[in-house]
Amino acid sequence: MTGIGAIHSPGQAEAAESQHETLLEVKNLKMHFPIKTGVLQRVTGHVKAVDGVSFAVKKGETIGIVGESGCGKSTMGRSIIRLYEPTGGEILYNGKDIAGLPEKQLRPLIRREIQMVFQDPNASLNPRKSLGSALAEPMKAHGLYESRQERIERIEKLLDLVGLHRSVINNYPHEFSGGQRQRIGIARALVLNPELVIADEAVSALDVSVQAQIINLLEDLQEKLGLTYIFISHDLSVVRHISDRVGVMYLGKLVELSDKEALYEEPLHPYTQALLSAIPVIKKDGTEERERIVLKGDLPSPSSPPPGCIFHTRCPYKMPMCETIVPEFREAAPGRQVACHLYGEPPF
Amino acid sequence: MSAYIIRRSLMAIPLLFIITIISFAMMRMAPGDPTALMMDPMIKQENLTAYKESYGLNDNVVVQYGRWLGNMVQGNFGESLIRQGVPVKDLILARLPNTLLLMLVSTIIAFLISIPLGVYSATRRNSKTDYAITFISFLGIATPSFWIGLMLIMVLSVHLGWFPIGGVANIGEPFSIWDRLHHLILPAFVLATADMAGLTRYSRSSMLDVLRQDYIRTAKANGFRERTVIFRHGLRNALIPIITIFGLMLPSFIGGSVIIESVFAWPGIGLLFMDAAFQRDYPVIMAVVVIAAALVVIGNLLADILYAVFDPRIEY
Amino acid sequence: TPADEISDAEAATKPDGGKGGGLVLATTAAPTLFNPYYSTDTSSSTIEGFIFSGLVTVDHDFNPEGDLAESWEFSDDGLRWTFHLRENVKWHDGEPFTADDVVFSYNIPLSEDYVGPRGLPFEIIEEINKVDDYTVEFVLSEPYAPFITITAQFEVLPEHILGDVPIADLGKHKFNTKEPVGTGPFKFKEWREGEYILLDRNDDYFLGAPKLDSITYKIVPDTNTAMAQLQVGEINLAGISPEYTEMAEDLAQKGKIELSSGPSNAFEYIGYNLRNELFQDKEVRQALTHAIDKEAIIQAILGGAGTVAHGPGSPANWAFNPDMPAFDYDPEKAKQMLKEAGWEPGPDGILQKDGKKFEFVLKTTSANEIRQQIAEVAQQQWSEIGIKTTIELLEWSAYVEQTSPPNWNFDAMVAGWSIGSDPDPTWFWHSSEIENGLNYNGYSNPKVDELLSQNTQISDLEERKRVIAEADAIVAEDQPNTFIYYVEGYLAKSPNLHGPEYSSANTYYKLHEWYID
Amino acid sequence: MSTNVLEVKSLKTYFNKNKKTVRAVDGVEFSIGKGETVALVGESGCGKSMTSLSIMGLVPAPAGKIVGGEILLNGIDLVGLPEKKMYEVRGREVAMIFQEPMTSLNPVLTIGDQLSGVVMHHLKLSKKEAMKKSAEMLEIVGFADPEKTLKDYPHRLSGGMRQRVMIAMAMSCNPKLLIADEPTTALDVTIQAQVLELMKDLSRKFSTSILLITHDLGVVSELAERVIVMYAGQIVEMADSNRLFNDPLHPYTEGLIGSVPTIDGDIRRLEAIPGNVPAPGTEMPGCRFAPRCSRATSKCTESVPEMRVLPDGRSVRCVLYEEEAAQ
Amino acid sequence: MTLTEEPRLTGRPALPEEPAVAPHEPIWKLMLRKYMKNKLAVIGAVLLFLIIGAAIFAPWLAPKDPSQQVLLDKLAPPGKDYPLGADNLGRDTLSRLLFGARISLLVGFASVAGSIFIGTVVGAVAGYYGGKLDAVLMRFVDAVISFPSLFLLITLVTIFEPSIMTLIGIFAIFGWTGTARLVRGEFLSLRKSEFVLAARTLGIRNGRIIFSHILPNALGPIIVSATLGVGGVILGEAALSYLGLGIQPPTPSWGNMLQSAQNPQIMLGAWWYPLFPGLMILTTVLAFNFVGDGLRDAFDPKIED
Ligand SMILES: Nc1ncnc2c1ncn2[C@@H]1O[C@H](COP(=O)(O)OP(=O)(O)OP(=O)(O)O)[C@@H](O)[C@H]1O
Ligand SMILES: Nc1ncnc2c1ncn2[C@@H]1O[C@H](COP(=O)(O)OP(=O)(O)OP(=O)(O)O)[C@@H](O)[C@H]1O
Ligand SMILES: [Mg+2]
Ligand SMILES: [Mg+2]
Ligand code: NI
């Protein structure tokens, strides 16, 4: 949009383009945490929690990110919202790179536009703040809804929106159930009218019945408010349910990114295949028997990822080249990207 | 592991450096100098100046510090101002073994008594015994240790004559273990009391914590008897945080030795320090403070190593 | 030095009595080194007294008595002193003692290189001559009466050991701490740092082998411990400080100890800084004294162990003047006198004069409980006549530094002096001692100056006593201090220890004859 | 399934807290046959773990207590069995594995110590024999180098490996009943798959009965032959796994299944159960699920519905099926 | 976008409105409830309340002037004139205890206030900002902690005259390290907690996060350690007094009252004289410990009621 942006007035342009355009684009994002050891606590290595991830999020869609524990999902989410300073790569939000911006410049920009819903409904609320003050605080911080009355109205609207009773405005977190707390977490994420919401395991800690309530709530909110979601979860069923597109992460990298139907119908990457086959399903009459691929071994350490294809140590289809050559993350079919030598020759 | 030990030792150096600066600075803030004590009516003024000169008391402060530090690094703590001609090192070497012995024995007493008490208290949580132990530990925390010491001397030594009133051994008698123990037991016990109380509380909560752990449930589910569960599966885990506490306790422990040594006439570095402090014997004060801090640092190092030994999860 | 307790004892003279046993003493202050020319503390001096001998010593009444010197004489002008030495004396290492040792020793403080505290008493010595192996002659620059009791008491060191040591290094020589060799009744055996000093009997002692086997000089952290040890017999001889007299009497009644007592050679006082305007008026000082109930202090704080003092000196001393002007407890009179001096009660009850309040700081040291208590009583009693005092307790060395030259940073202080074996009061009251000496008050009276200058030049004791008494009376009239009491000294010993008797002059007189059964 | 290994009869385990009684397990009644795998499902806090701990005799005292009922293991009532006897039962007759493999192993003892300890304790083997047996067990649960693993400390193992050690430990004395309390909840799906396969294998090989506790209906469907659904301390439905998922009876079961998004099949709006699980200690007359039930009638709140056995062998606790059951 | 079979209503509330589970109860009430459950803590609070009250109202409660000496009544046993006896200068022990309470508590509270302030600031800065600053600050804390504090106290007290102010200053200057470590630990963990991350993503400024999010949650341990600290200082003052370095007479503090009774003559002959200051120290420190224990429970979110 840079070239065109110079021609017409920015405000209009943004409004017009954002309807169909990319809201967020992550390019080769890297987040390495130093490991300090030895006599002098020198940095002897890095945990490559996120190691070169690229994808784009369109306005209004839900992109799901799945992967096993420790593969870097949370780190990626937190890097995007700039809780970390990424080691490398670009994060283009509405075309502007926010990867290296200092906090001061982030505040007016993404601190209002991008929000996060956290995993643990107990830990993500300040136990010493009542619901009302927790929700009013960001408004004050950004100078929105200046009068007290306005703020109360806003809070009440938010409570309606997430399905909480208005009378609880003065209650403290410990007085709510897990599901209600997660609703508060969502309400807080919505206070500033964000564009993009990153939900990191937002329903994992909840009971199934409550989990369903929250998933439904998230869907309703998206519809009502036109939100864009990055939905991080290790639960493939939940991700399938809520996402439009799904990315699969393994050891800090995206190994497959694809439209939901295609991915679940016909997974390309051997890891995705194994992952899907491993999910226990409720068998009803007519449910087809699936063959289970049981992977050998455990996830390698992100501080010393294997050379070549990161998955080759556990891959049932390993070829000699996999041990040395890093497969590119490329389009293997329309709308489908995969990082695997099996799909070297497009079109597949 | 050895890298870890080296690292910890290296970390101690700037620490000791800061310590020397602080102690030296404090000394120099002092009004009055050691010659004030030698106010003999028959002293000649020029002798006084010469005397100060011979101890370098007339030099620039920084020069004095540099000289002192330089010497100390070579193991030379200078000479006492009061005890002319006696190297501070000799004074300290004569006293240190006594202090170390006292601390060692009272540490052993403290641990031997308080850990079982704490563990017992934890396993009998909310029982009458638990309450009693808790209350007694609180009493122990709240009673000044010198007071306990004085009372014990009054009753056990003066009245009943069961123990000697002070000192490390009977004078002029040949060395005997029994005699040494006889002198040691009261001061060691009293020095132990203050920390014993805290330690009991701490082992209790540490054990309670462990007893809540999943692996204890596993052990129980495997059909082990309660005793086995507590001692084989619980105790070692409960001990690990107690080791750290030992490191944290050490400064107050060494500090407490000043009081206990005063009460029991125990000729250790605490008593040496008290005398030196009253007499403004700078070299001695500084040496003792530095050595006491070094003891703390070494104690912490030991605690850390022990910690690593006890806890297989720690790998360096 | 303040609170020096040197005393004298009646010897236990039962040659046929038992023998053996160990004398166990205790001190709260560890000795520093055993060389009389370098040590200044009481503990060291005491032990030096066991190990070494001087030319003369004093008996229980401060009368000089021959020690290493068998006899002595002095010329009529008082400038030439000749000492005839004993011939059978051996050092602890077996070497014979000769005049060379005396010449060597008494020359130490006269040396250019000497770095030590003992220069002053030797300054009057012009030369020391060896006449023969057993005769020494001292030539003084002016007549000096205290020469025999002060200078000649200094112990003699072995020339054959220390003769080659440069005088400058003598103070730090290992002789002083590790291997002192003397001619005294006991030999140095062991010094356990922070614990004790152990001395063994010297079988070759020139007055006959001591009956006691050993002397153990214990180091204890405080007097409470010492008292407890005395009580259970872990130590068998101890001077009793005033706080503990009641307890000691109690123990004596129970038969655990035996107690002897007598006036000690010291007095306690509240000293005024005469540089301060408040105290420049003699009547005011007298009034201040009138306000203090000395008898009550003696009864309440000391349990009666003292005598009311009106002026300087000590009844223990031969030069004491019992007839000094007295300013007895009389608060009304005090008020009256202050009123006459222009001090009227202000609205807050505090005396005022020309808009200035009568208030001052009373300093004393935290190291002395008795003085603390005296300060508290004085504060209270002065407040009753409208004088406001603030007590400031100082740690010992800060106290010394603040009150002594060149600071004199005090309004008034509670202190005490012990007088020493010679009664010469010059140190305290002569105006020449203001600049650098012990005249902390800044007291100056021409008549006193004149009398004091005379006193050391008089060889005749009676004459000297008269001069000192006159000076003391003037000082008492001037009241630069409120003299409070003369200290009563106590000595406690185990019932089985025979020999020691309380004495302010020489506690260990005839030590070699003591014994334990 | 000739004999029942375990029969639980009207088990009641209550907690006393601040003079309030929490009925954690309130009249639970079920049985497990030899070699059978039975799943216990329900939301958090419904009393699944307490049921299992009651069987083990490990209800946290003194707050919790079994106040009534019987637990018959091979016909012997474990309730009220002296503690001494229970030592023989635990680990030997009934073994248990827990949810958190990360914390269920003692961090300061080696795997070998822990495994052989159990074997020595129950089978009275010598240390050497016990080690050998332990190594065998590790091999059975799929360790490539059991000798080395024996010397390792738990922290060096991954979660999946630890859970396999736990399984080895549980199976080492060849128990009649294995209670697995959420054995795979903390594991990643791929690792979960490994562990589930292993459990299937082992139960077949040793013909051990398994009481599987989980809230993951997929896992239930994979492993269990019979399912027991609990809600707020009570069993609300009990049926064959197949039939339960195809045709749930109780509205709660129905809601539960409807709440779970599926990996294949239609994507539809989730049929969430409104509201929350009642807080522990909430006393209410009638059906405990009634406040959240879309099909509740006034009858539901009158009295607690009985557990009814339907003609086809399924049991359910709901007024809707009273007539059906009566037939 | 989610595909659904059934058409979905838009605009309706997501789910039926739910009332709050528990009726609204302010945090402090909850904490009070938890506190009240610890019986020893309640006893401790009552004791403290009485002791502090006695200190505040000492001038009205004291039967006599605490510095009024009646030398003839020296060491009088408890009786009509002297409810708790008289000391070695004939002063009324009860009155001195009451006024001594002021001094002992003043020293305790003031120095702990000082050390808590320093400790909290240092710990908060180190814990929140981390990195090099943290490393430097913590090395310094390590150094100060490695000093056996009694050695420092003695050295300093012998250097400076032991007035009330210097004692407070010295206790404050060497008492803060524990708090600093504690606060740093709290900050380190709270800094990574999800609610702080949430505040950051909402653009709340650092200052506000520190003061309004982290500090209130770290307050529990701080208050607990402060409570225990006051007891510790009172004991410390007593220990210094034992060595003659505490609050200096005639100002009464429990420590120096105890010290002046150390004489074996008094300890054996007039047991009441050392008994009462000793009891006061014991009771007060005990009470502070009980209260600290209760506060720990009250602030601990893990302990549910
Ligand atoms: N602040 C940090 N410092 C060092 N390493 C970290 C940090 N945060 C995460 N890591 C490491 O980065 C890797 C990825 O962690 P991350 O939390 O992003 O994984 P995840 O996919 O979210 O896992 P989970 O499903 O368990 O939440 C892990 O190996 C983790 O140990
Ligand atoms: N120590 C305890 N004290 C008091 N109540 C307890 C205790 N442990 C459990 N409970 C109560 O017992 C009830 C059942 O708990 P249980 O652990 O059996 O639930 P669960 O079904 O295993 O849940 P989850 O799925 O979370 O493990 C809970 O409502 C809880 O409130
Ligand atoms: Mg995560
Ligand atoms: Mg459970
Ligand atoms: Ni544009």
pLDDT, one tens digit per residue, over E287-302 is: 998 888 888 878 876 5
pLDDT one-digit tens code per residue, C321-350? 888 888 999 999 999 999 998 899 988 888
Measured CA to CA, the distance from residue C99 to residue C384 in angstroms comes to 64
Tens of pLDDT, residues E159-189: 776 778 888 888 888 888 888 988 898 888 8
pLDDT tier for residue C19 given thresholds of 50, 70 and 90: low
Q: Which chain E residue's Cα is nearest to D269?
A: E4
The average confidence (pLDDT) of chain C is 84
Interchain proximity A111–E22, CB inside 8 Å: no
Residues whose Cβ atom is located within 5 A of ion ligand 4? D 49
Mean pLDDT of chain E: 80
Residue C292 carries which DSSP code? -
Binning pLDDT at 50, 70 and 90, where does residue D38 land? very high
On the question of pLDDT at E13 being above 50, the answer is no
Q: What is the CA radius of gyration of chain D?
A: 21
Ligand 2 neighbours, Cβ below 6 Å, are D 15, 17, 22, 24, 42, 44-50, 60, 63-64, 215, 280
Q: Indicate whether residue A65 lines ligand 1 (CB < 6 A).
A: no
Residue B65 DSSP one-character state: H
Distance D253 CA to ligand 3 centre (A): 30
Give yes or no for residue B39 having a pLDDT over 50: no
| Chain B partners (3+ C-beta pairs within 8 A) | A, C, D, E
* Residue of B215, B220, B233 with shortest CB distance to D90: B220
Task: Give the mutation target among A33, A53, A75 for probing the ligand 1 site: most ligand atoms within 8 A of CB.
Answer: A75
Residue pLDDT, tens place only, A327-346 = 888 888 888 999 988 886 54
State how far the Cα of A196 lies from the Cα of A193, in Å rounded to an integer. Answer: 9
Using an 8 Å CB-CB cutoff, list chain B residues near C436. Answer: 45
Give the closest-approach CA distance of E3 to chain D in angstroms: 7
The lowest-confidence range among D293-302, E198-207, E254-263 is: E254-263
Distance of CA D45 from the midpoint of ligand 2 (Å): 5
SS3 percent helix, strand, coil of chain C, rounded to 5, is: 30, 25, 45
Any idea which residue has 């190092």 for tokens? B301
Give C236-252 pLDDT, tens digit per residue.
888 887 778 878 888 88
Q: Report helix angle B282-310 to B269-279, nearest 10.
A: 150
CA distance C433 to C444: 10
If pLDDT is split at 50, 70 and 90, which confidence band does C6 have?
very low
Does residue A254 have a pLDDT over 90? yes
CA of A205 to the centre of ligand 5 (A): 41
B292·E289 Cβ contact <8 A = no
Q: Which residue from B244, A126, B9 is spatially nearest to E181, judged by alpha carbons?
A: B244
ipTM associated with this complex: 0.77
Quote the percentage of chain A above a pLDDT of 70: 91
CA of B11 to the centre of ligand 1 (A): 30
Nearest to B141 among E145, E158, E285 (CB): E285
pLDDT score at C290: 93
From the alpha carbon of D213, which atom of ligand 2 is closest?
Answer: 22
Average pLDDT, rounded, for chain A? 84
Nearest to B215 by CA among D192, D109, D59: D109
Please determine, for residue C366, whether its predicted confidence score (pLDDT) is greater than 50: yes
Distance CA C380, CA C386 (A): 10
Q: What's at C429, amino acid-wise?
A: W
Interface check E201 vs D, CB under 8 A: no
A72 CB within 6 A, ligand 1: yes
Is the pLDDT at E269 greater than 90, yes or no? no
Supply the pLDDT for residue A56.
92
Q: How far apart are CA E266 and CA E258, in angstroms?
A: 11
Chain C hits for B261, Cβ within 8 Å: 221
Q: What are the strands, taking DSSP E only, across chain A?
A: 22-37, 42-58, 62-66, 88-93, 96-97, 114-117, 196-200, 228-232, 245-250, 253-259, 330-333, 336-338
Task: Specify whether the CB–CB gap between C182 and C155 falls below 8 A.
Answer: yes
Of B143, B273, B274, the CB nearest to E282: B143
pLDDT of residue B50: 66
For the ranges A56-60, B291-295, E258-262, the one whose mean pLDDT is highest: A56-60
Is chain C in touch with chain E: ≥3 Cβ pairs within 8 A?
A: yes
Listed residues: CB within 5 A of ion ligand 5:
A 1, 4-5, 13
* Nearest Cα to Cα of residue D67 among D24, D105, D30, D4: D24
* Ligand 5 centroid from CA A57, angstroms: 17
Q: Please state, in angstroms and rounded to a whole number, the distance separating the CA atoms of residues C144 and C142.
A: 6
Instruction: Give the max Cα distance, chain E.
Output: 103
Tens of pLDDT, residues E104-156: 899 999 999 999 999 999 999 888 888 788 888 888 888 888 888 788 888 87
Which of E65, E67, E69 would you mutate first to test chain C, the one with the most C CBs within 10 A?
A: E69
The Å distance, Cα C183 to ligand 1 centre, comes to: 84
Residue of B nearest to E153 (CA): B255
Q: Which of A168, A209, A220 would best serve as a mutation to test chain D binding (most D beta carbons within 10 A)? A: A209
Q: Note whether A171 contacts E208, CB cutoff 8 Å.
A: no
Q: Which residue has the higher pLDDT, B56 or A145?
A: A145
The beta strands (E) that lie in D137-206 are given as: 177-181
Q: How far apart are CA D313 and CA D239, in angstroms?
A: 7
Nearest CA to ligand 2 atom 25: D44
> d(Cα C400, Cα C381) in Å, to the nearest integer?
26
Residues ≥6 apart with Cβ < 8 Å to E35: E41, E42, E45, E294, E295, E297, E298
> Which residue's CA is the closest to the ligand 1 atom numbered 24?
A69
Rounded to whole angstroms, how far apart are CA atoms D166 and C6?
83
- Cα(A201) to centroid(ligand 3), Å: 7
Chain centroid offset of residue D185 CA: 12
pLDDT winner (highest mean) among B26-40, C448-462, E20-34 = C448-462
**Cβ pair A109, A101 in contact under 8 A:** yes
Q: What subunits touch chain D, counting only 3 or more CB pairs under 8 A?
A: A, B, E
Give the span between the Cα atoms of A333 and B6, in whole angstroms: 57
Q: According to the 3-state scheme, what is the secondary structure of A21-46?
A: CEEEEEEEEEEEEEEEECCCCEEEEE
Beta pairing, strands C412-418 & C258-272: antiparallel
CB B258 within 8 A of CB E245: no
Assigned token pair, E126? 């180190």
Q: Which of B161-170, C129-138, E235-244 is least confident?
A: B161-170
D239 pLDDT higher than 90: yes
Q: Which of C231, C296, C398 sits opposite E71 (nearest CB)?
A: C296
Residue B126 has pLDDT above 90, yes or no: no
Q: Alpha-carbon distance D263 to D75, whole Å?
A: 42
> What pLDDT does residue B55 have?
61
Amino acid B33: pLDDT: 55
Q: Give the pLDDT score at A39.
A: 53
**pLDDT tens digit sequence for C477-499:** 999 999 999 988 888 888 888 88
Ligand nearest to the CA of D278: 2
- Res A333: pLDDT: 83
* Mean pLDDT computed over C200-218: 87
Whole-prediction pTM: 0.79
* Nearest listed ligand to the Cα of residue D25: 2
**Stretch 187-226 of chain B: residues touching chain D, C-beta under 8 Å:** 213-215, 217-225
d(C-alpha C481, C-alpha C362), whole Å: 13
Higher pLDDT, A191 or D284: A191
Mean pLDDT, to the nearest integer, of C22-33? 84
D to B contact (≥3 Cβ pairs closer than 8 Å): yes
- pLDDT higher than threshold 50 for residue E3: no
Contact D129, B262 (CB under 8 A): no
